[in-house]
Amino acid sequence: MVETILNRTQMLGRATLDGFARLGRASLFLLEVLSNLGGMLKRPGLLIKQLFSVGVQTLIIIVVAGLFVGMVMALQSYYALVDFGAENSVSVMVVLSLLRELGPVITALLFAGRAGSALTAEIGLMKTTEQLSGMEMMAVNPIERIVAPRFLAGVIAMPLLAAIFSAVGVMGGYLVAVELLGLDAGAFWSQAQENVELIDDLGNGMIKSLVFGVVVSWIAVFEGYDCIPTSEGLGQATTRTVVYGSLAILVLDFVLTALMFGK
């Protein structure tokens, strides 16, 4: 009995220490990536290629998701507001929820699932097949050539994708509210224009998605670079990217919302 308790305590202690060691490694890794951004920028082609891979290729899923989220938001807002005769405020609810919350958060969650997992798998497979070691032995720094462009592309792509998500979401909301439910188009746009602040709403949403971009890209490239170089290790690393990335987004969203919109 005592032995079991001791073993459990020991396991808990070891897991905690391992967790902190990993966090330390991840932080040092991030510093190394940041210090190599300058060198990477001398070869803009690397960044452009990755922007296409993590940004453009994620666009379809973002557009489709944004459209339907906007449409659902409009429907739900209409059903809630029509009882109070406030259906003309549908656009305010749609636009504010998209800009402040849904745009950055859902984009980041989709990004972690689509682009984040792909980044981890790609870097992890390069490690497993010794391509990263091969580069090191060719006197080429894999952090600069492989990791840094992918990280920066993720950081740049996330706010742009979130902006596109929100814009398409608003269009979806317009389609439902004006074209389907017959609300006045002028009221839809003027209500939105009156109640949305550039800095407080749009700006804060963009800051959120920038923070999510840094965190999700950091987790994705670190998990790939740090994975155990076996097929099982690679699978686990990819799963961790999606799980840790999604949890980090949700926790950070709460923290950022509290900081930005708290009175």
Partner 1 sequence: MSETLVKIRGLTFSRGNNLIFDNVDMDIPRKGITAIMGPSGTGKTTLLKLIGGQLQPDSGSIEVDGQNIHQLKTRELYELRKRMGMLFQSGALLTDLSVFENVAYPIREHTRLSESMIRQLVLMKLNAVGLRGARDLEPAELSGGMSRRVSMARAIALDPMMIMYDEPFTGQDPISMGVLVKLIKSLNDALNFCSIVVSHDVRETMSIADYVYLISAGTVVEHGTPEAITNSESEWTRQFIKGLADGPVPFHVKATPLLDDLLTTAERKRG
Name the minimum Å distance from CB 126 to partner 1: 8
* 141 vs 236, beta carbon nearer partner 1: 141
Interatomic CA distance for residues 147 and 218, integer angstroms: 10
Where in 114-173 is the site for partner 1 (CB under 8 A)?
126, 129-131, 133-141
Q: Which is nearer to partner 1, 18 or 136 (CB)?
A: 136
CB of 131 to partner 1, least distance (A): 5
Q: Which two tokens stand for residue 153?
A: 């592309």
Residue 198's alpha-carbon distances to 32, 41, 158, 193, in angstroms, are 35, 31, 19, 10
For 118, the 3-state DSSP assignment is: helix
Task: State the nearest-atom distance from the C-beta of 143 to partner 1, in Å.
Answer: 11
Residues within window 20-59 making contact with partner 1, judged by CB under 8 A: none
> Are the C-beta atoms of 152 and 47 separated by less than 8 Å?
yes
DSSP tag of 51: I
Please, which residue, 130 or 197, has the CB nearer to partner 1?
130
Distance in angstroms (rounded) separating the CA atoms of residues 204 and 199:
6
- Contact assessment for residue 248 and residue 158, using Cβ atoms and an 8 Å cutoff: no
Q: Tell me how many residues contact partner 1 (CB under 8 A).
A: 13
Question: Least distance to partner 1 from the beta carbon of 36, Å?
Answer: 11
Looking at the Cβ atoms of 109 and 121, the one nearer to partner 1 is 121
List contacts with partner 1 (CB under 8 A): 126, 129-131, 133-141
